[in-house]
């Protein structure tokens, strides 16, 4: 079993990973600055910033004045993958991390620096199925039950073209729509 949990947001949902073993030695100020790069300034400037732990709990680094929460890059992942989430997406992410049923709400996630994950089909994969992780450039994600009824998006899974919108983790409770923005 791997010692980290990767959150989907980029994965298709760029991954937010936390490591049970690694310790990030960056200052809180550096983490906050990194987290704020995940979304447009109009969203991130007033967002709270928090670090996530494996159990889904969050350590507040900065209290914001909006409903958005930004999360800094996890140093245990191969890329720089901060994200900003609306309140519904935070609930969805918590459900994913705790392997519980996600809320019956639609959420939105920014990952303007891109992300990676082990699988486009298995939210809990511990290694890539084809020997390499899925890399997704800058994107936004739509999470929640509405994705299951969204027609016209690639749902092929592994080997999907990550340059066009596609569904990640199809047919799972954590299915979400990945929308590249370049």
Per-residue pLDDT tens digits for 36-65: 999 999 999 999 999 987 676 889 999 999
- How much is the pLDDT for 134? 74
Q: Which of 52, 44, 110 is nearest to 83 (CA)?
A: 110
**Residues linked to residue 4 through DSSP beta bridges, in sequence order:** 19
Task: Tell me the per-residue pLDDT of 111-162, one tens digit each, with 9 for 90 and over.
Answer: 999 988 888 888 988 887 777 777 788 999 999 988 988 888 988 877 788 8
What is the CB-side half-sphere exposure of residue 121 using CA atoms within 13 A? 10
Distance CA 182, CA 180 (A): 6
Task: Tell me the per-residue pLDDT of 81-119, one tens digit each, with 9 for 90 and over.
Answer: 999 999 999 999 989 988 999 999 999 999 999 988 888
Helix (H, G, I), strand (E, B) or coil at 21: coil
- How much is the pLDDT for 128? 78
- How much is the pLDDT for 24? 53
b/e map of 114-140 (b: 16 or more CB within 10 Å)? bbbbbbbbebebeeebeeebbebbbbb
- How much is the pLDDT for 36? 97
CB 69 within 8 A of CB 18: no
- How much is the pLDDT for 76? 67
Residue 36 contacts by C-beta under 8 Å, 6 or more apart in sequence? 44, 45, 47, 49, 70, 82
**Number of domains comprising the chain:** 1
- How much is the pLDDT for 135? 76
Q: Which domain holds residue 15?
A: 4-180
CA 163 to chain centre: 17
Task: Tell me the per-residue pLDDT of 13-30, one tens digit each, with 9 for 90 and over.
Answer: 333 434 333 445 689 999
């Amino acid at each position: 079993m791997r010692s980290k949990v990767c959150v989907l947001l980029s994965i298709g949902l760029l991954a937010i990973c936390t490591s049970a073993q690694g310790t990030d030695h960056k200052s809180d100020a550096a983490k906050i600055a990194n987290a704020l790069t995940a979304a447009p300034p109009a969203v991130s400037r007033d967002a709270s910033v928090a670090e996530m732990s494996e159990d889904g709990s969050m350590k507040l680094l900065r209290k914001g004045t909006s409903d958005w929460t930004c999360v800094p890059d996890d140093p245990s992942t191969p890329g720089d993958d901060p994200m900003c989430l609306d309140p519904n997406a935070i609930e969805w992410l918590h459900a994913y991390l705790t392997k519980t049923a996600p809320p019956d709400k639609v959420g939105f996630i920014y990952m303007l620096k891109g992300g990676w994950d082990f699988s486009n089909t298995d939210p809990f994969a511990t290694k890539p199925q084809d020997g390499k992780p899925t890399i997704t450039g800058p994107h936004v994600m739509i999470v929640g039950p509405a994705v299951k009824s969204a027609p016209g998006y690639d749902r092929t899974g592994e080997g999907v073209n990550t340059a066009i919108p596609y569904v990640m983790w199809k047919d799972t409770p954590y299915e979400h729509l990945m929308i590249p923005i370049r």
